[in-house]
Structure 1
């Protein structure tokens, strides 16, 4: 199975500078989108994928084994990083480099079963959340500023500061609204008409008078469909708490009468310059109950919402038990959906191009405050990375709409298809991020000793001069 499906999107002025910072990325990634800072004039260019998963050689000597599990140079060298492979989950290496270097990871309030399996199979071990000597920090919440400021060049954390500018529904909408005013609404017309309650209640009522509902109501900081409901009138929305209210898209793309949406995995490895990757494989989630546009069943979440966490409890939900069955049941792969649409005559290349534009523009709209926070709190350019879960709805006219962006998208695996897609995505992400092959205890000791040794040298020089 080809696990190297991350493709690259970036917005930089100097390609040479980007190349200098990302030398080890070239072996596993190809460029997806080349976007300039003129957001309204995005130019897309596809290049071939260059890395293919290779079968592990059966008889590896020590040096060859290291080359198979690391990339960029000899073990322990400055630019050498771990190479992660799906094959390690079923056939872990006997002497993985990460084990020899005592490489470690920390987790904080995160879903870690799959992550831990991948890291342990490559020789890394988990340490207590309070231990400062680690190679990777994986957290389900935003890291505190003091933690970011204390990071060393070899350490990685899976969030940028202020990434909620993209993942909180109210902040996402406000950031896109700013770009609509600055660059023109036609260039950022990929979100439904949206209001933030209670402050926009009067504007919502005015819009409802002109266009009518229905409207979908979402908490600003929830995920997995929690707290979402649909109303036909603003009068049905309580004003005691902050919620986002968006125009409900009444003409979704239907497959066999069922509504569906896409979960796409997007990685950002830098905001300054902006470097974005989108994993080529994704998941397609189906509502369990066939869609009815009459408005009589607005109360039924299993008709209008496609979240797995909601539909899995319905008696008609079908879960595929075959990892190779990509178009069975209520969860498909993105590849299966695109094959289905191509068979119906759809230009899927153009569709994916439009989806990629949505992803890039949403990130560009939210980038300025994140860049400011990185300059303030992040000491080294490669400390932070982020995996986002983009939820996209395609309507009957094949127009993609951005529903929301998820912080820490679920890595839970409730089916063989989940394991196949998410494990392949995760190993590519970790290879892309580049975990330096560094013993964290030795590096920390060297860093703490260095100022003292320099001071000793100065003392000796002063004594000599006296």
Structure 2
């Protein structure tokens, strides 16, 4: 079905299955176009990943809700490979995820570990979602499948609330990759298992309602309680859980700081590949703003209050099975769309510039391609404009990067660049390379380890800070 564009902004509603996007578009008075022609739409929205060709086909004023190359952290095997590589380089900084083996490549090492160390391990298909295909292992005989799987040490000492295991769905917004721009939403979800937790034993070893926190699994338990006011439900708001932990006397700000640090360090591992894809597809975009992506980081706390990264979701569910879902996810999406700044001025400027170039080509063979110096100047100007706009339109989002600890994170950016260069350069090359970090102004920020990011944040949810 096709619709005529009647408003300033329009969305290509290509393969999105969620009604919430329609509702948000309607609240913004945006028109939804359901067709493959993206000629004049402002925003292209896909549930699935996009190819570089898709980004390459966009005009400079258009935006799309994914980055080509984000699979480096949302596919379980790719994220494990990236984080394992960084753990070898920075063992004390990248110790925030369980020890992981990528199978079948690490099968011999994994089997040897299982023989020597009597621990519990969890097996996950590398490309699965919603808890599908996950099971526990305590011996070699328990291993069912080794192709396209990862194996992890199972966290047997999770922090419990009401006797239940839970994890946190943290919503993260990436608004630029060259340089990197990362935001965290102040609200999120806590998903609970539906049966009381005890460490794996003969009785509960295969009970997914004890060991897994995925909503898609636990909603099928007859004991599941949907989110509702005044009830101890199995899905709650992030803020309500943080309030409860704070009332117990736990250091909630310390937990939050560690989660923020995990997010930045994880995204940094793929920054060079994101930037390379982006520059190849859109070399003349000085705004660094044609792509954005809402990610779902799944974090679990152990009983020492240490956050552990479980996985990253590039297409977090935006289904709204409860009023709590609708409230939080509407804020996450709508405030992201505000922050990425979709406006009619950019479209008009693009069309004016296009006409100017067409007239020039008809009168002269000389190219209007900007010089390197002009490109750098234009990029700096656009970054300043973005900073000003974002500072006044964050709403529920908090900027994590760039921020007050850029010099600390620069060592990881340099390592990421170095690693990407080595992996993408033919082995026959003898050229040496020293990785380059992001460009930012020296403004007195200290080269300290990440230890108090909350002190640098401009806003914090008052209810739990």
1:434 to 319, 333, 341: 341
Backbone CA RMSD of aligned residues: 2.1
* Whole-angstrom distance in 2 between the partners of 1:237 and 1:142: 31
The answer to which structure, 1 or 2, has the higher relative contact order (CA under 8 A, 6+ apart) is: 1
Which residue of the partner structure matches residue 73 of structure 2? 166
Q: Does 1:189 align with 2:77?
A: no
1:289 to 195, 208, 211: 195
Which residue of the partner structure matches residue 262 of structure 2? 358
Aligned pairs for 1:93-172 (under 5 A) are 100-101=7-8, 103-132=9-38, 133-172=40-79
TM-score (norm 1): 0.72
* Whole-angstrom distance in 1 between the partners of 2:364 and 2:106: 64
CA-to-aligned-CA distance 1:134-178 (integer Å, 9 cap, x gap): 100111222222221122221110111100001011111111111
Which residue of the partner structure matches residue 394 of structure 1? 301
TM-score (norm 2): 0.72
Contact 2:107 2:146 in 1 (8 A): no
Q: What is the Cα deviation at residue 221 of structure 1? A: 1.4
Contact 2:81 2:102 in 1 (8 A): no
CA-to-aligned-CA distance 1:171-202 (integer Å, 9 cap, x gap): 111111111122x2111011111111112111
For structure 1, the residue ranges without an aligned partner over 5 or more in a row are 1-97, 460-466
Aligned pairs for 1:26-425 (under 5 A) are 100-101=7-8, 103-132=9-38, 133-182=40-89, 184-239=90-145, 241-296=147-202, 297-322=204-229, 328-379=232-283, 380=285, 381-425=288-332
Pairs aligned (count):
356
Secondary structure of 1:172's counterpart equals: helix
* Whole-angstrom distance in 2 between the partners of 1:416 and 1:362: 31
Secondary structure of 1:382's counterpart equals: coil
For structure 2, the residue ranges without an aligned partner over 5 or more in a row are 366-465
Contact 1:196 1:244 in 2 (8 A): yes
Distance 1:443 1:131, change over 3 A: farther
Distance 1:262 1:180, change over 3 A: same
Distance 1:456 1:359, change over 3 A: closer
Which residue of the partner structure matches residue 443 of structure 2? none
